[in-house]
């Protein structure tokens, strides 16, 4: 993966839109990212990582922190990255969550995070999760692997070089995905502990079941059972003992059950005899009660028979009532016909009332329309000249507006004149000051010039010698040469005075021109005003013009307002005239329609009156011969007759049924008396008292046997439950103990807890293979950077058998042949070891990631601890990495690197805290 162009906006310290043209840095070699501390050097890698994976490069920053605190509220926050991978170009854009100004109203709203990815075939992937999945598929690695391969972060690998086995376990676990081995270790450890707890629980369960066993009081087995409960008897012997106790109880239970069965047979015989005696006594009482009931039923049957004869005598009356009901039911259809005619009558009368009401409404509306038409026609005639009036007012308004405009323009000229006059006064004052200053400076210069010339004679006199010609007069003698003074100016002071004098004269001339210009402009403006005012005010003194114009303007404003009101009123009338022109024909048409409706309603009323008369005559004919006013009264009377007939029928049927029932009951009682008399004659005599005494004696014996059986059954159930539990739990305990033994052995092996051996976990053992490959790759660089002196080596033996080992690191010093801990290296040596280990780790991760090829790499800081030779060796090592098509960026502010690396991205920070970049290629 090679970045081509990176664009950030309102991102970190970059307040505005900043573009990194990374393609200018070429395809290979080293380049330096340098600049002020905190300016945003590492932010470059953060932005690239965020564009690719939606997350920063490290764990310190969060995406919520990406929004620049220096950016304007309207500036959006986003990152764009054009990059190349496997010969194809891609474009990705992302933005984090941040607050932006709301599009509607005041305040802010949340701009949600989003992402889009443009593929080489033109397809566009949207939504964050889909873009993340596509990016991982394209590059073949996730964010964690990318940052480990492409970024040697500031201080991170210093931790790796000095880390203990436990710390390296955590680091390699994330890098090489060995967490599953740790999970296996933990699972075995937990399963071993769980099996141990299960064995303890099963042992306790067996003890509880043994404690639940019991035997008969004073049984010889009680001594052995006590031993078993105390744990002094083996489980197998305990099972045999409980089984023996249960066999004894089973034998005793069978004997008692046989004896109880014999007692049940005797009690059954006694119960049968007592039952027969009870039945005889019961039959005697039943005979007495039945004879009494027969006597009462015979008397009642006679009374019911007499009532039934009375009901039979009313049969003719019932038949006559039934005939009357039939006649009344046949008259019901005539009531329906009468109701129909009455309904017609009500409908027609309702229609007549509605027509009469509608006729009254129509006549009222006709009267109203006549009045409205007359009123609107009169108003229409009164407004016939309104258009002419409106035109006259509009012309008057236009004239006033023109006149007002002229006055306002002239007043504006006056305001400009005042401004010019004020500027003229100010310019004249400035000229006076400048002129005075120029005169003073001119005088100062003249004085200095004279003093300077005088001084030149003294300078010349110092060079005169007797016998040599004077360069001025040619004399060979110099009786009174000029003297030098202490107050004469130098040539530089004279030149300065001259410059000041000329500048002051120039300034005075400029102020003079400025004042003259304002004076000319003010005069021209007065002439224009004087000429223009004649047409508005007539002849007028110049001092009175402005006041008269203000008065004129006020007067014109009042007239304009008056005319505007007149124009508004006239406009309303013109609109009204147009509305009347349309409404009058409509009202006349409505009047014509309502007049026609009046005639039609009158004709309809006459027709309804004739129909009502015919219906009334037919109703009179139908009412003749009917006993009731309407069907409801007829049906009510018919219902009363039906009820009367139903009662008569029911009374007859009830009397008949009661008579038959009573006759049957008398016959049944007579038969029952005969049967009871026969039963009593056949019954035998029995001694009930003796039988009851014998029964009670047998029941007491049976109760004693039942109590004994209950105790034996309880012991059998309890011992059976205990025996089954002991067998089951002891068998399960045996299986669990076997499993626990081999699981514990596996756990101790995987977790490095074998007594007397080094504590190397399974995961650590796997990581040791990776670590050996990393160290081998790291040494190819470390040997070069250390001039062949140092070589890294994984420590083969642990310091002790109490702590975890296997990932400790030593260094071999080839200069003196010693081997010691890497913790003994100096700061610069430690950095070179860290850098070598980081590069080895990066190579190993790329190899482990399926041959993923990244053409760009970043190294963040750490070079400040190196001397000049070490720095040169580190640069050479990194340069060797960049051979082929790999571009390596070094993030640093070390001055020596600026001299050694030509390609640079310079990040600068201004006083506000914002950052800017410059690419030097």
pLDDT in tens, 742-779: 988 888 888 878 777 777 788 788 878 888 888 898 89
User: What rounded mean pLDDT belongs to the chain?
Assistant: 82
> 305 in a domain, yes or no?
yes
> 571 in a domain, yes or no?
no
Q: Are residues 322 and 391 in the same domain?
A: no
Q: Is a pLDDT exceeding 80 seen at residue 164?
A: no
pLDDT in tens, 187-243: 988 988 988 888 888 888 888 888 888 888 777 788 888 888 888 888 888 888 888
> pTM for this one?
0.41
Mean pLDDT of 863-887: 68
Q: Are residues 309 and 454 in the same domain?
A: no
Q: Are residues 428 and 530 in the same domain?
A: yes
With contact defined as beta carbons under 8 Å apart, do 124 and 117 qualify? Answer: yes
CA distance 364 to 372: 12
Q: 518 Cβ partners below 8 Å, 6+ apart?
A: 420, 423, 424, 427
* DSSP codes of every residue in 799-865: S-SSSB-S--EEEEETTTTEEEEGGGS-HHHHHHHHHHHHHHHHHHHHHHTTS---SEEEEES-GGG
Q: Between 128-139 and 41-53, two packed helices, what is the crossing angle to 10 degrees?
A: 100
> 795 in a domain, yes or no?
no
Q: Are residues 303 and 407 in the same domain?
A: no
Q: Are residues 400 and 315 in the same domain?
A: no
* DSSP codes of every residue in 550-572: HHHHHHHHHHHHHHHHHHHHHHH
CA distance 726 to 721: 9
Mean pLDDT of 627-644: 80
Tell me the pLDDT band of 85, cut-offs 50, 70 and 90.
confident
Q: Are residues 526 and 395 in the same domain?
A: yes
Q: Are residues 85 and 13 in the same domain?
A: yes
- Residue ending a domain, among 490, 516, 541, is 541
> 233 in a domain, yes or no?
no
With contact defined as beta carbons under 8 Å apart, do 615 and 342 qualify? Answer: no
> 264 in a domain, yes or no?
no
> 74 in a domain, yes or no?
yes
Q: Are residues 318 and 391 in the same domain?
A: no
What CATH number should be reported for the domain holding residue 906? 3.40.50.300
The closest of 237, 260, 218 to 709, measured between CA atoms, is: 260
Q: Are residues 303 and 449 in the same domain?
A: no
pLDDT for 80 equals 96
Q: Are residues 530 and 648 in the same domain?
A: no
- Residue ending a domain, among 508, 541, 574, is 541
Q: Are residues 31 and 99 in the same domain?
A: yes
Give the range of the structural domain holding residue 304, as residue numbers without chain letter: 296-329+631-681
CA distance 605 to 356: 7
| Count of domains forming the chain | 3
CA distance 375 to 580: 10
Q: Is a pLDDT exceeding 90 seen at residue 81?
A: yes
By mean pLDDT, which of 29-43, 159-173, 359-373 is the weakest?
159-173
- Cβ neighbour number for residue 492 with a 10 Å cutoff: 8
Which burial class, exposed, middle or buried, applies to 682 when counting CB atoms under 10 A from its CB (0-12, 13-18, 19+)? exposed
Q: Is a pLDDT exceeding 90 seen at residue 92?
A: yes
Tell me the pLDDT band of 615, cut-offs 50, 70 and 90.
confident
- Residue ending a domain, among 507, 541, 575, is 541
Mean pLDDT of 300-314: 82
pLDDT in tens, 801-821: 455 566 788 899 998 889 888
What 3-state class would DSSP assign to 625? Answer: coil
With contact defined as beta carbons under 8 Å apart, do 889 and 858 qualify? Answer: yes
pLDDT for 9 equals 93
């Amino acid at each position: 993966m090679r970045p081509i162009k990176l664009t950030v906006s309102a991102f970190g310290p970059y307040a505005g839109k900043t573009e990194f043209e990374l393609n200018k840095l070429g395809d290979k070699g080293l380049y330096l990212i340098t600049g002020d501390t905190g300016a945003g050097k590492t932010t470059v890698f953060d932005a690239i990582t965020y564009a690719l994976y939606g997350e920063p490069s490290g764990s310190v920053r969060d995406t919520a922190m990406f929004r620049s605190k220096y950016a304007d509220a309207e500036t959006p926050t986003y990152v764009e990255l054009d990059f190349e991978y496997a010969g194809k170009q891609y474009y990705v854009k992302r933005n984090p969550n941040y607050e932006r100004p709301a599009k509607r109203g005041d305040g802010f709203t949340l701009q949600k995070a989003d992402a889009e990815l443009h593929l080489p075939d033109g397809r566009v992937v949207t939504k964050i999760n889909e873009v993340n999945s596509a990016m991982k598929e394209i590059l073949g690695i996730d964010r964690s692997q990318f940052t480990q391969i492409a970024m040697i972060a500031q201080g991170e690998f210093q931790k790796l070089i000095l880390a203990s086995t436990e710390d390296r376990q955590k680091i390699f676990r994330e890098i090489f995905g060995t967490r599953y081995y740790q999970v296996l270790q933990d699972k075995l450890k937990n399963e071993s502990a769980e099996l141990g707890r299960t064995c303890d629980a099963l042992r306790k369960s067996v003890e509880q079941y043994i404690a639940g066993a019991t035997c008969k009081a004073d049984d010889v087995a009680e001594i052995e059972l006590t031993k078993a409960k105390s744990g002094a008897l083996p489980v197998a012997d305990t099972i045999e003992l409980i089984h023996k106790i249960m066999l004894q109880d089973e034998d005793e239970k069978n004997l008692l059950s046989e004896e109880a069965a014999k007692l049940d047979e005797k009690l059954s015989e006694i119960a049968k005899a007592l039952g027969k005696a009870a039945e005889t006594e019961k039959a005697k009482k039943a005979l007495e009660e039945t004879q009494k009931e027969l006597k009462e039923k015979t008397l009642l049957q006679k009374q019911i028979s007499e009532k039934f004869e009375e009901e039979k005598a009313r049969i003719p009356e019932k038949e006559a009532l039934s005939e009357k009901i039939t006649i009344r039911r046949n008259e019901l259809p005539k009531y329906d016909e009468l109701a129909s005619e009455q309904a017609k009558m009500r409908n027609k009368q309702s229609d007549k009332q509605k027509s009469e009401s509608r006729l009254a409404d129509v006549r009222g509306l006709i009267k109203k329309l006549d009045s409205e038409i007359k009123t609107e026609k009169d108003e229409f005639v009164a407004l016939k000249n309104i258009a002419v009036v409106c035109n006259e007012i509009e012309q008057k308004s236009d004239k006033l507006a023109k006149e007002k405009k002229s006055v306002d323009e002239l007043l504006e000229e006056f305001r400009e004149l005042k401004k010019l006059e004020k500027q003229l006064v100010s310019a004249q004052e400035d000229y006076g000051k400048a002129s005075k200053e120029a005169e003073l400076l001119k005088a100062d210069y003249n004085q200095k010039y004279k003093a300077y010339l005088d001084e030149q004679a003294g300078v010349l006199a110092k060079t005169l010698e007797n016998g040599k010609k004077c360069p001025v007069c040619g004399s060979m003698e110099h009786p009174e040469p000029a003297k030098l003074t202490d107050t004469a100016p130098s040539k530089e002071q004279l030149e300065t005075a001259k410059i000041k004098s000329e500048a002051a004269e120039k300034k005075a001339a400029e102020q003079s021109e400025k004042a003259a210009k304002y004076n000319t402009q003010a005069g021209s403006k007065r002439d224009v005003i004087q000429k223009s005012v004649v047409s508005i005010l007539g002849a007028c003194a110049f001092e009175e013009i402005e006041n008269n114009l203000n008065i004129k303007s006020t007067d014109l404003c009042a007239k304009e307002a008056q005319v505007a009101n007149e124009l508004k009123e006239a406009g309303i009338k013109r609109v009204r005239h147009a509305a009347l022109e349309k409404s009058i024909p409509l009202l006349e048409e409505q009047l014509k329609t309502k007049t026609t409706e009046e005639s039609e309603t009158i004709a309809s009323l006459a027709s309804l009156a004739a129909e009502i008369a015919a219906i009334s005559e037919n109703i009179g004919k139908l009412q003749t011969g009917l006993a009731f006013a309407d069907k409801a009264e007829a049906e009510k009377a018919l219902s009363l007759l039906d009820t009367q007939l139903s009662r008569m029928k029911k009374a007859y049927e009830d009397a008949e049924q009661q008579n038959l029932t009573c006759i049957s009951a008398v016959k049944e009682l007579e038969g029952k008396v005969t049967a009871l008399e026969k039963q009593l004659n056949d019954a035998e005599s029995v001694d009930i008292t003796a039988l009851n005494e014998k029964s009670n004696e047998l029941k007491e014996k049976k109760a004693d046997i039942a109590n004994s059986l209950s105790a034996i059954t309880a012991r059998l159930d309890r011992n059976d439950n205990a025996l089954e539990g002991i067998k089951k739990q002891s068998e399960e305990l045996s299986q669990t103990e076997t499993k626990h033994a081999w699981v514990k052995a596996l756990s101790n092996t995987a977790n490095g807890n074998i007594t007397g051996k080094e504590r190397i976990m399974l995961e650590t053992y796997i990581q040791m293979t990776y670590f050996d490959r990393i160290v081998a790759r790291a040494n190819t660089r470390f040997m070069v950077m250390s001039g062949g002196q140092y070589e890294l080596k994984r420590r083969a033996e642990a310091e002790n058998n109490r702590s975890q080992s296997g990932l400790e690191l030593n260094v071999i010093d080839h200069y003196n042949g010693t081997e010691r801990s890497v913790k003994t290296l100096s700061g610069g040596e430690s950095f070179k070891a860290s850098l070598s280990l980081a590069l080895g780790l990066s190579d190993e991760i790329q190899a482990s990631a399926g041959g993923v090829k990244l053409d760009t790499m970043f190294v963040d800081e750490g070079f400040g601890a190196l001397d000049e030779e070490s720095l040169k060796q580190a640069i050479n090592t990194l340069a060797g990495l960049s051979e082929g098509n790999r571009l390596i960026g070094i993030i640093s502010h070390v001055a020596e690197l600026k001299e050694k690396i030509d390609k640079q991205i310079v990040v600068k920070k201004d006083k506000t805290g914002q950052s800017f970049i410059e690419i030097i290629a």
